[in-house]
Amino acid sequence: MEKTEQNQEEMKLRYLELLRREYGTIRAASSEVAHLRAIMKLPKGTEHFLSDLHGEHGAFLHMLHNASGVIKRKIHDLYENVLPQHEQDLLATLIYYPSEKLAQLKKKGEVNEEWYRLIIYRLIQVCRLCSVKYTRKRVREAMPKELSMMVEEMLLADGTPDKEGYHREIMQSILDTGLADTVIIALSRMIQNLAIDRLHIIGDIFDRGPRADLIMDALEDYHQVDVQWGNHDIVWMGAAALSEACIAQIIVTSLKYSNLETLEIGYGISLRPLLGLAQACYGNDPCEHFLPKNNGEDVQEDEMEVARMHKAAAILLFKLEGQLIARHPEYHMDHRRLLHRIDFEKHMVEIDGKSYAMSPGTFPTIDPQDPYALNATEREVMDRLVMEFEHSEKLQRHVQFLYSAGGMYLCCNGNLLYHGCIPMQEDGTFAPMPVGDEYNLCGKRGIDEADRVARQGFFSKAGSQERQNGQDFLWYLGCGPASPLFGKDKMTTFERYFVPDPETHRENKNAYYNLQDDETTAIRILQEFGLSETGFIVNGHVPVKVGKGESPVKAGGRLIVIDGGMSRAYQPVTGIAGYTLIFTSHEVNLVAHQPFVSRAAAISDEQDIHSKQSLVYMMPKRVLIADTDEGRVLQQKIDDLMALIEAYRKGVLKENRKAGV
């Protein structure tokens, strides 16, 4: 026991020696303690939560620019009785799209020296309001370095007569040197930066909408963001890890919705190898069940080309999935291997022990004697597609960002964030997942292990068994029956293509969704992750049917589902076009958004997204940084510095007056 205590003291002293390099004197350490204690008394920053973006880059980027309506409300607070509404709208649009709006106003001849003075003054006022609860260091970080001194002086202007000439000269110099546009753009971006302290994305950035890659570009550059992986994201991650099944799934989904922009334009991935296979093997196939979603009544030739590619990719997918499932009996998915259950002569298929008639169609690439084997042409196509995904620098970079900024879940400031579900049994106990040595981990331990194996699929040595297992598990997370990201017993893609009987199309949700409105279950989940029952669960994945009266706030207010249908495909179901959950130091608000028209309309006509805010929870007292995760980190640093000061005063350590030099 004495030896253990001695070791602990030695380790503590070694740590203090390291700290001494930065804070070499009592005065330096004491000054930092005072600074950190002051920060602890500031209000917590504003957190924004968004989910299920599904490639809708236009709407998402606008929500970043307008901080989900927060910036317009701040303008209203400042200028309600000063400016008419159209001038408030113009100021807001200028903040959202400064370069584009300036160009438009100049073209109209509305920009002159007096206009510049007035707009810069108003932007400073809005920026000042957005920065009031931040440290000066945080505000400086939001400034462009080359303008930081000038912008800081303008923000600190207090109207005292002694400095009136000084600040007037700064403004005149901005105008004389042609910096006005640069300053307007800088102030606008600062306002956007300061309006949202931290952004949480609760999964499903990819698929459905046109340009998920542009969303990823914005997230990469964002000042503070985290991502909880969604089932659509994880398949793209698997594809970047070179899982052939995930690559096939990505291509099938893209063709299904006739949405190839992200693949071809965003990531430079050519589907020409697949086109050759489709033309050679399915040129005479009607492929009626493979026509793109939402196509018109008259089928165009380019739609038939997409349909043939779609069918060729789907057959590739079913073969590759069959091989993968055979490698992993622990997945308990053998019932999803359906190709060897097809009677090609009778055109019937056995599903769950029952025979069903199949839709008309041909299967020229399936060998009934070895149905899961890729023929020589398919093998060549798959090899070329793997190379395309491997050499897409942008995709590889984006997926590395998802790994570094993301995970299966996040505990943040007392709240639990995850995309899909916590797999459960009907009785409310946590269900086992096929991870770990015994394939029976559940709850937090199971999801932690799932996170680890998902990383193994991307980062383990190429060609190793660990890499192969991780790649396969990434696919499982996208569609497996016990996956916390998927949340259903099966994905009936094969049946929807080939079996008309709707009985075979049924996908049953995990028991979690039947228990989602039970407060006891929500509290049990929070406690499983080491959180207080006063926290919130923030969930995405399943669109909230607002139009049918469904509430996004469940489980006695403990669980909030924020999939409001940003994807256009879901808006008829939800009746709205997305949610933003906003957690300030005072309250939790849910903002419901109406559809985004277009970037052009937002700039030219100053059309903002119409949003309606509703209060979810009012904090019993204002939340300070001391009450947050950041506060706990700062408190630990304060404790360490106090220990260093004590070591100096007791003579255990000598002051290091060259520290920090």
Across 377-398, b (16+ Cβ under 10 Å) vs e yields ebeebbeebeebbbebeebbeb
Q: Which of 484, 508, 532 corresponds to the end of one domain?
A: 508
Asked whether residue 243 is domain-assigned, the answer is yes
Is there a single domain that holds both residue 63 and residue 104? yes
Is there a single domain that holds both residue 262 and residue 234? yes
What is the CA 113 to chain-centroid distance, rounded? 42
Q: Mapping DSSP to helix (H, G, I), strand (E, B) and coil, where does residue 587 land?
A: strand
What is the CA 244 to chain-centroid distance, rounded? 24
Give the pLDDT confidence score for residue 303 in this predicted structure.
85
Is there a single domain that holds both residue 529 and residue 468? no
Strand partners of residue 655: none
Give every CB contact of residue 106 below 8 A, 6+ residues apart in sequence: none
Q: Which of 508, 536, 571 corresponds to the end of one domain?
A: 508
Asked whether residue 349 is domain-assigned, the answer is yes
Is there a single domain that holds both residue 291 and residue 195? no
Is there a single domain that holds both residue 162 and residue 267? no
Give every CB contact of residue 591 below 8 A, 6+ residues apart in sequence: 68, 69, 579, 580, 581, 582, 611, 612, 613, 614
Domains of the chain: total: 3
CA distance 115 to 121: 10
CA distance 164 to 158: 9
Asked whether residue 285 is domain-assigned, the answer is yes
Is there a single domain that holds both residue 556 and residue 497? no
Asked whether residue 334 is domain-assigned, the answer is yes
Q: Which of 455, 477, 508 corresponds to the end of one domain?
A: 508
CA distance 8 to 425: 44
CA distance 13 to 1: 19
Asked whether residue 210 is domain-assigned, the answer is no
Which residues span the domain enclosing 308? 230-390+432-508
What are the counts of helices (DSSP H) followed by strands (DSSP E) for the chain? 25, 17
Q: Mapping DSSP to helix (H, G, I), strand (E, B) and coil, where does residue 21 land?
A: coil
What is the CA 598 to chain-centroid distance, rounded? 22
Asked whether residue 186 is domain-assigned, the answer is yes
Is there a single domain that holds both residue 139 and residue 285? no
Is there a single domain that holds both residue 141 and residue 255? no
* CA nearest to 62, candidates 617, 435, 580, 584: 580
Which residue ranges of the chain lie beneath pLDDT 50?
295-298, 661
CA distance 590 to 557: 12
The CA-to-CA distance between both ends of the chain, in Å, stands at: 41
Q: By the 8 A CB rule, do 313 and 381 touch?
A: no
What pTM was computed for the model? 0.94
Asked whether residue 33 is domain-assigned, the answer is yes
Is there a single domain that holds both residue 334 and residue 370? yes
Is there a single domain that holds both residue 445 and residue 560? no
Handedness of CA 285, 288, 290, 293 (dihedral sign): positive
Is there a single domain that holds both residue 458 and residue 487? yes
Is there a single domain that holds both residue 503 and residue 526? no
Strand partners of residue 49: 200, 581
Give the pLDDT confidence score for residue 488 in this predicted structure.
96
Asked whether residue 214 is domain-assigned, the answer is no
